[in-house]
């Protein structure tokens, strides 16, 4: 992305023992780094259930189970509307959310991204597609 290596980058490890609110709040504390030009990005998946991957469908251009597509759309809606509390408390989003996030390690980077969002940032999405039935590769960009 930056071949001149002229932009500071911060890599974080996730403490899986901490609740989702902790990760969101920690991102809020890191916000000043973003204002100083530090690039902070999260790497994960909003919908990530490896136990249910349709391995025989991986070569299809796009394939998602109904619940995976529904949750991907719901997550995007909540992000656009700034409803971070519901995304932090994703366990309350129902059975589809439990299928989409059977374990949180791939979801928690999203909470860092949301915690770093300023009031003027607009969220947009790219690479928005389902893979193997139970994964989405949807990425969030803040401008």
The reported pTM is 0.91
Residue 128 lies in a domain: yes
Residue 2 lies in a domain: no
Residue ranges making up the domain that contains 62:
9-142
The pLDDT value recorded for residue 36 is 86
Residue 1 lies in a domain: no
Residue-wise pLDDT for 10-69, tens only, equals 677 889 899 999 999 999 999 998 888 887 778 888 999 999 999 999 999 899 999 999
User: Domain total for the chain?
Assistant: 1
Residue 98's φ and ψ, nearest 5 degrees, are -65, -35
Give the CATH number, domain containing residue 24: 3.40.830.10
- Are the C-beta atoms of residues 135 and 113 closer than 8 Å to each other? no
Predicted confidence (pLDDT) at residue 139 exceeds the cutoff of 80: yes
- Are the C-beta atoms of residues 114 and 83 closer than 8 Å to each other? no
Tell me the CA distances in angstroms from 143 to 47, 66, 124, one per residue in order.
Answer: 23, 30, 8
Q: What percent of the chain has pLDDT over 70?
A: 99
Predicted confidence (pLDDT) at residue 135 exceeds the cutoff of 80: yes
Predicted confidence (pLDDT) at residue 8 exceeds the cutoff of 80: no
């Amino acid at each position: 992305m930056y071949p001149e290596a002229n932009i500071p980058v911060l890599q974080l490890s996730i403490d899986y023992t901490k609740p989702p609110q902790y990760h969101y709040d920690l991102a809020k504390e890191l916000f000043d780094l973003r204002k100083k030009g530090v690039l902070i990005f999260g790497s994960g998946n909003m919908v990530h259930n490896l136990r249910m991957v349709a391995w025989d469908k991986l070569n299809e251009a796009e394939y998602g189970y109904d619940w995976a597509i529904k949750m991907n759309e719901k997550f995007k809606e909540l992000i656009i509307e700034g409803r971070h509390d519901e995304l932090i408390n994703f366990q309350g989003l129902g059975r589809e959310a439990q299928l989409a996030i059977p374990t949180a390690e791939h979801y928690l980077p999203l909470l860092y991204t949301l915690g770093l969002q300023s009031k003027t940032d607009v969220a947009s999405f790219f690479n928005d597609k389902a893979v193997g039935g139970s994964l989405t590769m949807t990425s969030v960009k803040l401008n």
